[in-house]
Amino acid sequence: MRKLKNYVHAPATALLVLLLSSCLQQEKKNPVHYVDPFICTEGDHGQWHPSALVPFGMVKLGPDTYPSSLTGDGDFAHSGYNYADSAVRGFSHFHKGSSGGTRIRDRAGNFSVMPFTGMPIESFLKNPVADMDKKTETASPGFYSVFLDQAGIRVELTASAHVGMHRYTFPAGKRANLFINEGNTQNAGVDCRRVDAYTIEGIQKSYGGFYFIMKFNAPVQTTLAWDGEKFYDAAHMEDQKDGGLICNFGDLEGETLEVKVGVSLTGHAAARKNLAAECPDWDFTSLKQKAEGLWNEKLKKIQVEGNDEYKTIFYTALYRTCFLPVSLTDVEGTYPGLDKKVHRAEGYKHYSDYAFWDSFRTKYPLYSLYLPDVYRDIVKSLRDIYKQADNALPFPDSDHKPHGHGYLLKGKNRAQVFTTCRHEHMLMVMADAYFKNLFDIDVREVYPYMKKEALLQMPEKYDSIGYIPARPDQTGEYAWDSWCVAQVAKSIGNRADYDFFMKRSDYWKNTWDSEIKYFRARAADGAWLDFPDPTVNREKYTYEGTKWQYRWNVLHDVPALIEKFGGEEHFVTELEYFFEHDLYTAGNQIDLHAPFMFNFAGAPWRAQKWVHKILTEPMVQLYGTHGFFPEPIFDRIYKATPDGYLEEMDDDYGCMAAWYVMSAMGLFQVCPGDPVYQITSPIFEKVTIDLDETIYPGKSFSIKANLLSKENHYIQSATLNGKPLNRCWLSHDELVRGGELVFEMGPEPNKAWGLETKK
């Protein structure tokens, strides 16, 4: 009331200034405040989690909900969290999310802490679940909080790269307990011991395990071990798979219990150092603010102006692209190598946990503009992986059945909790970085490994026939890789390899049936195999896609593909039919580049039409990951809701999030390794990319769309740095020199714009 009286008696001009200042503060909402961590956390719609974490951090501290992370409904809680659940079974430190993965019984995260009060302990531990008050559940970048209904416990979580910090407020008059367990019951158990009244240390053994140091701000009064059926007194617990350790802190009389957990993959000493460096005190609020600041520093590198709902989807998507890969590097630079030795990353962070087949086409092109410093470190990390694994990578079996998930090395080591990986097209990620000048290592150091990777994927035994029998999908994909290796070979003066791999880059042509104008499986003797209904995804000969969706499966030589269709007119007709008849699938990777293919065939206005629809309008979707939906879905593909994506639409390590970000800016790189972006209509009035001046010559690159509206989404004309631009592509070099791309927008397509061909 006192402030209100002051306002009333203030001079009118002062009051006006105050009101204007308040409005300006609201307008200056930071990018981090647009992020909604609950988007894509409900059911099978993106498979993310609302955990507290920092960009690329190892710790992802968040809830594992019940029943979805444990029961048959777990098919929909791939991350351990389902927004539709109203109960929780623990708060664990390591979550992956974003990818369906293997269907296992328990999808919870690793290394869990569950608070509970002094109820009969045995009855609780037989079903350690608590109801959440969903109205109190909140999350923001670096923070998660919820109130546990019946227990009366307030839960607050935050994190740094190697530390998870918990704050629990128990009701006064109740005994405060923590149940410490492995979380995911598919793991190998947990060892832990009570060091003193304030400290527990141990090893979580999943996939070789990780080391942890757990500190409390209040003394542990008693500890009990639980083996799933009975208690036993213990200050030390080994190989506990079905139970865990119960720590009793007594009645805290309303004071908060704070817990700090420092982790490392290289040892307890490193875990202690990580904890001391990143969280030296008990200031929960400071750690939370630091996490939010780290996120804002990343997200503000791309500034967008326009519709608030689109900004929420955009910044949440941008946020998701920084969950994976993960930095395995301790604060002193140590990390576990795939050769089972401890290494030191000098002057960079070592990243792991990749899924290249899922994300190479969108996320790494985005990184090259948005986080080139991270991409540089990824290049060094892949160099490390090449050397330490010596290309002992998982590849399809001898019959070339569908692509597989796997580890980079046989056997287990501590790194593997974070290195489950899809390797395909890893060399394309390297080649793209090289041609964008993001290599600060000698390319000759890694070229032999890139070459070996290409030959492992498509062995030389297939050179006599020029394709992989029964696998037109893999033949086409490995042709991309061969093209990339050829370009690198050419750049280092290796003419023999250039000629060899360029010949292989044309093998896709040997699986094109010119009679029906589709890619088609062939036997080893050259005979065409059966050709199923091209609209049906039977996954016979083509992985996770129909023959229609694989029809556009040439990234590195689109002009040659257009020629196979009989020229631009035929190509555009078929591509338009593909979209008009709902044969496109937005929920999988196979045809993500398809709407941008119009740019190559003299019809960029059609790319503008379809990209705008995919980004902003309801569309019919017929296909899930492995076949038709039971009933067609008519909905927006990207939404600012917990079911943010289509059903069955994995984000796949941020692939779909990056597709949205790039497309919403009006840029898309069809072929990694060829540093060219296709241009289409942005959905924002202005986009500004702050370029990294230590790497690129320009300070920023902006994209303006004058008169943009829901109706005005067609490009009428364009200028680049004040000069007319009549082409629908932009080179990476042009963009990173900085400048301004300006579009004049209108309600009808200008079919004459953008027709200047690539040099």
Q: Which of 60-69, 533-542, 700-709 has the highest mean pLDDT?
A: 700-709
Amino acid 641 reads: T
- 736: Cβ contacts below 8 Å, ≥ 6 apart: 369, 436, 691, 696, 697, 698, 701
Q: What is the mean pLDDT of residues 72-91?
A: 83
Report pLDDT digits (tens) over 96-112.
888 765 444 456 788 99
Q: Which residues of 627-644 are buried (b: 16+ CB within 10 A; e: fewer)?
A: eeeeeebeebbbbbbbbb
In the prediction, which pLDDT does 190 show? 82
Q: Which residues of 63-96 are buried (b: 16+ CB within 10 A; e: fewer)?
A: bbbbbbbbeebbebbbbbbbbebebbbbbbbbbb
Q: What is the mean pLDDT of residues 560-573?
A: 98
What ranges in 411-471 are assigned the alpha helix state H?
426-435, 443-457
Indicate if the pLDDT at residue 575 is higher than 60. yes
Nearest of 628, 588, 630, 637 to residue 610 by alpha carbon: 637
In the prediction, which pLDDT does 184 show? 77
Report pLDDT digits (tens) over 616-626.
999 999 999 88
Indicate if the pLDDT at residue 394 is higher than 50. no
Amino acid 230 reads: K
Report pLDDT digits (tens) over 502-542.
999 999 999 999 999 999 999 999 999 999 899 999 889 99
Band the pLDDT of 17: cuts 50, 70, 90: very low
Residues in the chain: 759
Tokens found for residue 678: 């296709």
In the prediction, which pLDDT does 186 show? 66
Are 84 and 68 within 8 A, CB to CB?
Answer: yes
Q: What is the mean pLDDT of residues 430-446?
A: 97
Give the start-to-end residue ranges of the domains of the chain. Answer: 49-299, 318-472+564-746
Residue predicted with more confidence, 413 or 570? 570
Q: What is the mean pLDDT of residues 9-16?
A: 44
In the prediction, which pLDDT does 7 show? 33
- Same CATH topology for 49-299 and 318-472+564-746: the answer is no
In the prediction, which pLDDT does 207 show? 56
Band the pLDDT of 390: cuts 50, 70, 90: low
Report pLDDT digits (tens) over 254-311.
999 999 999 999 999 999 999 999 999 999 999 999 999 999 999 999 999 999 999 9
Band the pLDDT of 407: cuts 50, 70, 90: very low
Nearest of 144, 116, 143 to residue 131 by alpha carbon: 116
Indicate if the pLDDT at residue 8 is higher than 60. no
Q: How large a percentage of the chain has pLDDT more than 70?
A: 88
Neighbours of 620 (CB within 10 A): 11
Report pLDDT digits (tens) over 309-360.
999 999 999 999 999 999 999 999 999 998 889 999 999 999 999 989 989 9
- Residue/partner pairs of 453-458 with CB below 8 Å, 24 or more apart: 453/386, 453/391, 453/393, 453/423, 453/426, 453/427, 453/481, 454/427, 454/478, 454/481, 454/482, 454/485, 454/501, 454/504, 456/391, 456/393, 456/395, 457/395, 457/424, 457/481, 458/482, 458/504, 458/507
Q: What is the mean pLDDT of residues 600-608?
A: 98
Band the pLDDT of 730: cuts 50, 70, 90: very high
In the prediction, which pLDDT does 97 show? 84
Nearest of 87, 202, 102 to residue 151 by alpha carbon: 87
Tokens found for residue 50: 């609302």
Name the pTM for this structure. Answer: 0.93
Whole-angstrom distance, CA of residue 107 vs CA of residue 463: 43
In the prediction, which pLDDT does 192 show? 86
Question: Ramachandran region of residue 567, left (φ > 0), alpha (ψ -120 to 50) or beta?
Answer: left
Comparing 80-84, 498-502, 598-602, the range with the smallest average pLDDT is 80-84
Are 101 and 74 within 8 A, CB to CB?
Answer: no
Report pLDDT digits (tens) over 170-207.
999 999 999 998 887 666 678 888 999 999 999 987 65
Amino acid 727 reads: R
Indicate if the pLDDT at residue 396 is higher than 90. no
CATH homologous superfamily, domain 318-472+564-746? GH92 mannosidase domain (3.30.2080.10)
Band the pLDDT of 9: cuts 50, 70, 90: very low
Report pLDDT digits (tens) over 661-670.
999 999 999 9
Indicate if the pLDDT at residue 674 is higher than 90. yes
Please give the CATH number for the structural domain made up of 49-299: 2.70.98.10
Tokens found for residue 568: 């631009």
Whole-angstrom distance, CA of residue 553 vs CA of residue 473: 8
Host H or E run for residue 737: none
Report pLDDT digits (tens) over 448-500.
999 999 999 999 999 999 999 999 999 999 999 999 999 999 999 999 999 99
Determine the distance from the C-alpha atom of residue 135 to the mean position of all C-alpha atoms in its chain, rounded to a whole number: 28
Comparing 16-30, 34-48, 62-76, the range with the smallest average pLDDT is 16-30
